[in-house]
């Protein structure tokens, strides 16, 4: 008995030490270049197009209004960000209501709150890794838990997005929590496990509506549980009631301001049906094939193969615990592939259950001598995922090269000194160099509050993709990006041909930064991967930039 207790104690100590090391590795990967793209003296809004929306709850609360007035997704993350902003800088938070547009207080708040929101995301990312450890440990033991946690710690999609002030990683945390309680339901369907599983599913939906599909996991776990207690109607009522109450308490204005909420929700539904990037749809007409390819960037195919093997092993050994994970994965993948918007971040909710299944490679299936293939697959996947994460982090940290946005701003300042004019395809936004301090795109730049911060470094016009329709004299230079070229190919070709016929001096950022992408091993990154490094083009009439800009004939 004493020897058994000592052995259990040693195993517990090893497990705790391993978990601490995994969390430290995860934190180190996620803190590198943590301030990427934050607002500064050159741009008012982040270089991530969705981070401003996460501040809407903080802005509303600072103005004394509990209604976030933004319902494209649930309100839970918005309120968490507001709470973090209130705790981190109460003086700034409560002074915003007295500020006037154009003053320094709002930019200071935007920067501080974006950083606070990223910290919330980081904490929930680390918590997700811990919940994955608990889930895999409950199914297969602490060794599997450590492997699962380590797998999620190095998955590139999770590593990169854990520093973004967006709903994807927080939503994945609540998905992981719902799956954890679903596994507990599968082992022992107690009322409290069912209730907490429903609460977690409701919180997932309150972060991002589509994640509410995770409610299927605890319900299926209850159906498959070997020991069912109490009336048959009680478990589904507990799960659904817990989800509804959790959602209502954390996204109350979805019901209290239903007309405006439905306006935003119906907009998102239409957006999902029609898409927003014709080039992406033309390149990847099949959403399921698109996401299957992008999973090689999200976690790498060797780790995906290890997860498939873990699912096979788990379904043989404890189907009542593993089947809900597999069913949720298939359902979430089907939902992600069915919509017409092609974003890699829609795979985020798949990563926690896939990481849990990676832990399943430790489960014995068949003779011990045959276990090495899955071990090798898992090792290759961990190495490849870590390498890919490091490549993205080096790009994010601008290691070895200057941010091309700043390079092009210097070109614009030189042109401004010669009283030149620049043409842009669209209003300055996240993918453009900060030609104007107010870089919020067409929607925010039209808002009178943010319009007060328009401070262009050089006179510019918005010209679209038709140089022939620019009124007045020909602009001295054009700036456009790979995002501006998300148009039908024939329109893009005509645009580029027109410019090359009129402008002699060309520069583009992917030639200057020296980024080398291993395209033979991985597919072309999706739209939202390239927020880090959009291709930026500059072409000019005059030799003002002759010393700085190489000529491309």
Whether residue 351 is predicted with pLDDT greater than 90 in this model: the reply is: yes
Q: What angle do CA 381, 382, 386 make, to 5 degrees?
A: 115
3-state secondary structure of 506: strand
Predicted TM-score (pTM) of this structure: 0.92
Residue 537, SS3 per DSSP? strand
Residue 79 has pLDDT above 70, yes or no: yes
- The fraction of the chain above a pLDDT of 90, given in percent, is 63
Contacts of 1 (CB under 8 A, 6+ apart): none
Determine contact, residues 68/60, Cβ cutoff 8 Å. yes
pLDDT at 546: 39
Q: What is the pLDDT of residue 541?
A: 83
What sign for the dihedral angle of Cα 313, 316, 317, 321? Answer: positive
Q: Please report, for residues 197, 228, 287, 418, the alpha-carbon distance to residue 231 in angstroms, rounded to integers and kept in the order given.
A: 18, 9, 41, 81
Which pLDDT does position 82 carry in this prediction? 96
pLDDT of residue 292: 93
Report whether 110 contacts 44 (CB < 8 A): yes
pLDDT class of 429 with cuts at 50, 70, 90: very high
Question: What's the confidence (pLDDT) of residue 280?
Answer: 72
pLDDT band at 407 (very low <50, low <70, confident <90, very high): confident
**What is the 3 state secondary structure string of 296-329?**
HHHCCHHHHHHHHHHHHHHHHHCHHHHHHHHHHH
pLDDT of residue 155: 98
Query: Does 226 score more than 90 pLDDT?
Result: no
pLDDT of 234:
81
Burial class (CB in 10 A: 0-12, 13-18, 19+), 389: buried
Mean pLDDT value of segment 440-457: 94
d(CA 112, CA 86): 11
More confident residue, 280 or 552: 280
> pLDDT band at 5, cuts 50/70/90?
very low
On whether the CB atoms of residues 275 and 281 are closer than 8 A, the answer is: yes
Residues 413-421 have a mean pLDDT of 87
Does 20 score more than 70 pLDDT? yes
Residue 46: is its pLDDT beyond 90?
yes
pLDDT for residue 368:
54
Distances in Å between the Cα of 65 and the Cα atoms of 62, 248, 265 are: 7, 18, 21
Averaged pLDDT for residues 242-247? 97
pLDDT tens profile 484-523: 988 888 888 899 998 888 888 888 886 444 444 555 667 7
Helices (H), 141-286: 142-154, 156-161, 168-187, 191-207, 216-224, 234-250, 253-256, 258-274, 278-283
Residue pLDDT, tens place only, 81-111: 999 999 998 988 988 888 888 889 999 999 9
Residue 80's pLDDT is 97
- CA 147, CA 357: separation in Å to the nearest integer? 10
pLDDT band for 548, please (50, 70, 90 cuts): very low
Cα separation, 135 vs 145, in Å, equals: 7
**551 pLDDT exceeds 70?**
no
Residue from 214, 224, 339 nearest 284 by CA: 339
Flag whether pLDDT at 297 surpasses 80.
yes
């Amino acid at each position: 008995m004493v020897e058994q207790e000592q052995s259990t104690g040693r195993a517990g100590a090893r497990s705790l030490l391993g978990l601490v090391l995994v969390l430290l590795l995860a934190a180190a990967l996620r803190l590198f270049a943590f301030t990427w793209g934050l607002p500064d003296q050159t741009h008012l809004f982040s270089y991530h197009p969705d981070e401003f929306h996460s501040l809407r709850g903080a802005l509303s609360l600072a103005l004394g209004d509990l209604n976030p007035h933004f319902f494209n997704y649930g309100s839970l993350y918005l309120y968490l960000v507001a709470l973090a902003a209130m705790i981190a800088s109460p003086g700034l938070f409560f002074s915003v209501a007295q500020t006037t547009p154009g003053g320094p207080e709002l930019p200071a708040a935007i920067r501080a709150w974006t950083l606070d929101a990223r910290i919330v995301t980081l904490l929930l990312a680390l918590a997700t890794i811990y919940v994955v450890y608990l889930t895999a440990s409950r199914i297969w033991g602490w060794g599997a838990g450590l492997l699962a946690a380590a797998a999620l710690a190095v998955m590139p999609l999770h590593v990169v997005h854990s520093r973004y002030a967006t709903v994807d990683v927080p939503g994945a945390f609540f998905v992981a929590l719902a799956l954890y309680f679903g596994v507990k339901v599968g082992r022992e369907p107690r009322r409290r496990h069912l209730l907490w599983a429903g609460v977690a599913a409701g919180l997932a939906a309150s972060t991002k509506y589509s994640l509410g599909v995770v409610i299927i996991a605890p319900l299926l776990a209850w159906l498959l549980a070997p020991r069912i207690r109490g009336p048959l109607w009680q478990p589904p009522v507990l799960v659904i009631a817990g989800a509804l109450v959790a959602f209502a308490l954390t996204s109350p204005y979805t019901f209290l301001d239903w007309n405006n909420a439905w306006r935003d929700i119906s907009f998102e539904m239409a957006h999902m049906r029609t898409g927003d990037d014709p080039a992406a749809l033309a390149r990847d007409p099949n959403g399921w094939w698109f996401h299957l390819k992008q999973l090689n960037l999200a976690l790498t195919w060797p780790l995906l193969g290890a997860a498939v093997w873990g699912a096979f092993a788990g379904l043989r050994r404890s189907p009542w615990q593993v089947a809900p994970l597999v069913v949720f994965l298939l359902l979430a993948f089907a939902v992600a592939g069915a919509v017409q918007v092609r974003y890699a971040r829609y795979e985020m909710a798949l990563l926690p259950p896939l990481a849990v299944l990676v832990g399943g490679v430790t489960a014995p299936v068949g003779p011990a001598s045959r276990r090495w293939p899955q071990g090798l697959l898992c090792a290759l996947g961990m190495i490849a995922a870590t390498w890919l994460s490091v490549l993205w982090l080096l790009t994010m940290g601008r290691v070895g090269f200057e941010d091309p946005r700043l390079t092009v701003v210097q070109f614009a300042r030189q042109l401004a000194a010669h009283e030149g004019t620049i043409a842009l395809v669209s209003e300055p936004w996240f993918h453009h160099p900060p030609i104007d301090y107010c870089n919020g795109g067409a929607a925010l730049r039209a808002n009178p509050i943010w319009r007060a911060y328009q401070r262009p470094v050089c006179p510019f016009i918005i010209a679209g993709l038709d140089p022939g329709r620019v009124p007045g004299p020909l602009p001295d230079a054009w700036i456009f990006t790979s995002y501006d070229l998300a148009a039908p190919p024939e329109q893009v070709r005509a645009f580029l041909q027109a410019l090359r016929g009129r402008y002699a001096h060309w520069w583009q950022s992917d030639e200057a930064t020296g980024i080398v992408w291993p395209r033979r091993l991985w597919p072309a990154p999706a739209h939202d991967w390239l927020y880090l490094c959009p291709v930026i083009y500059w072409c000019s009439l005059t030799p003002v930039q002759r010393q700085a800009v190489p000529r491309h004939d």
